[in-house]
Amino acid sequence: MPVKPIVNALKEARQAVMEIVIFNSVIDALVVFMLFLLGCLLLTFPTWYALVPAVVYALVHTRGNLKDVNFSKIEEKFPNLNEQLITVADNAKDQNEIIDALNQEVLQKMKEIRTSSFINFGKLTRELAVMAVISFIIIGSAAFHIKFFDFKEAVKEIKDFKPYQEYDVNEEMLRFEESQNLSEILGEKSVTELGQQQLDLEINPLKSDVEIGSVHDVEDRQFREVAPPEIKAVADVSFEEQIPKQYQRIVKTYFKEITKS
């Protein structure tokens, strides 16, 4: 059975509307993508981050718009087809003289349907203008290295901020016991206390490396403010953080013994 011309015409009309809807969705998604891309560039996010919301938006938006694709959209644009197009579409499979006459009438009126009638040129122009402006902003911010926030640095700082990064330090060992016995820090009291007694020092010249005759008053010397390049401060090895766990106790005990003696 040959397909009725009206059936083909209805298919074409529906297809045309669907193409316009998809086109509008693609343009909207592009605008969203460019906005997010600009955001990613200004905040130094990876650029592929902009794709995710754009794709999600495109899918949701297109799905929603495609659901609304029906003949009532065409009838809204062309009032002379009001209620007739839907009637013809719903009764496309039936045949009688009245339906045939209605099909002919609607077919004639459908020749006036232009695809351009479904394009909102105002909205399209605005979106293209927005895309052009965003493009210029992207080019400008890239050329002048404009950044509002360095995401990569922030991530690095967060990583470095971790206090117990590589060691599982035994907190027991770090516990500081408070004690009133100051002899461990200050030394033996009997040794430090001089009192009012006069202290006579007798230097045995044979047992001393000091030559009394060559001892003079301290000369006033001018020191350079800038340290010579061959001199640099280095931290003592013992104070480096990278002390293996099994030696930490030894190091601590060492310093403890030093203060005692």
Partner 1 sequence: MKLEEAKKTFDFIFSELNKVIVGQNEVLKQVSVALLADSHALLEGYPGLAKTLTIKTLAQLMDLKFSRIQNTPDLMPSDITGTYIIEESTAGKRSFKFQPGPVFANVVLADEINRATPKTQSALLEAMQEHQVTVGNTTFKLEEPFFVLATQNPIEQEGTYPLPEAQADRFLLKIKVDYPSFDEEVEIVNRLTEDYKKAALKPVLNRDSLLYLQNMTKMIPIANDIKKYAVQLVTSTRQKKDLIEYGASPRASIGLILAAKARALIEGRKYVSKDDINKMAFPVLRHRIVLSFEAERQGMHADDVIKSLLK
Chain positions contacting partner 1, by CB under 8 A: 83-84, 86-91, 94, 96-99, 101-102, 105
**Under a CB-based contact definition with an 8 Å cutoff, are residues 53 and 36 in contact?**
yes
Nearer to partner 1 by C-beta: 94 or 240?
94
Report the C-alpha gap between 50 and 39 in whole angstroms.
8
Nearer to partner 1 by C-beta: 87 or 248?
87
Nearer to partner 1 by C-beta: 98 or 146?
98
Strands (E), the chain: none
Nearer to partner 1 by C-beta: 98 or 186?
98
Nearest approach, Cβ of residue 58 and partner 1 (Å) = 30
Nearest approach, Cβ of residue 89 and partner 1 (Å) = 8
Nearest approach, Cβ of residue 2 and partner 1 (Å) = 20
- DSSP characters over 176-244: PPP-S-THHHH--HHHH--TT--------TTT----GGG--PPP--PPPSSPPTT------GGG-S---
In the DSSP assignment, the letter for residue 117 is G
**Under a CB-based contact definition with an 8 Å cutoff, are residues 102 and 90 in contact?**
no
Nearest approach, Cβ of residue 63 and partner 1 (Å) = 22
- 245 CB-near residues (< 8 Å, 6+ apart): 167, 168, 169
Nearer to partner 1 by C-beta: 65 or 91?
91
Nearer to partner 1 by C-beta: 98 or 169?
98
Q: What is the Cα 122 distance to its own chain's centre?
A: 35
Nearest approach, Cβ of residue 114 and partner 1 (Å) = 24
Nearest approach, Cβ of residue 97 and partner 1 (Å) = 7
Q: How far from 104 is each of 76, 82, 110, 139, CA to CA, in Å?
A: 20, 15, 10, 56
